[in-house]
Amino acid sequence: MDEAFVRRAYRARVRDYTDGISFPTTRDELLAFARRKNTPSDIYTELNRLPAKQFASSSEVVDAVITLRFGAASQ
């Protein structure tokens, strides 16, 4: 399967499961939100791997998760 397609699909899933949280937010707040939303374990695990810091936006969270999951995007 095309890596770009897999990245886009996973990005959409992460965005869906983090939709609705208020920003800025911390990793711990993201994890609590994800538990309440019954987020699938693969996404929850990636959220748990995020650095313990404050995130300014959904895009920042999604980008960080994608980088953890797949590494930096190829140029």
**25 within some domain:** yes
**19 within some domain:** yes
How many domains in the chain?
1
**CB-CB contact of 27 with 50 (8 Å):** yes
Give residue-wise pLDDT tens across range 19-72. 999 999 999 999 999 999 999 999 999 999 999 999 999 999 999 999 999 987
The pairing of beta strand 54-55 with beta strand 25-26: antiparallel
Domain of 18 in residue numbering reads as: 3-70
**58 within some domain:** yes
User: Which of 49, 55, 42 has the alpha carbon at shortest distance from 68?
Assistant: 49
- Residue 1 pLDDT greater than 80, yes or no: no
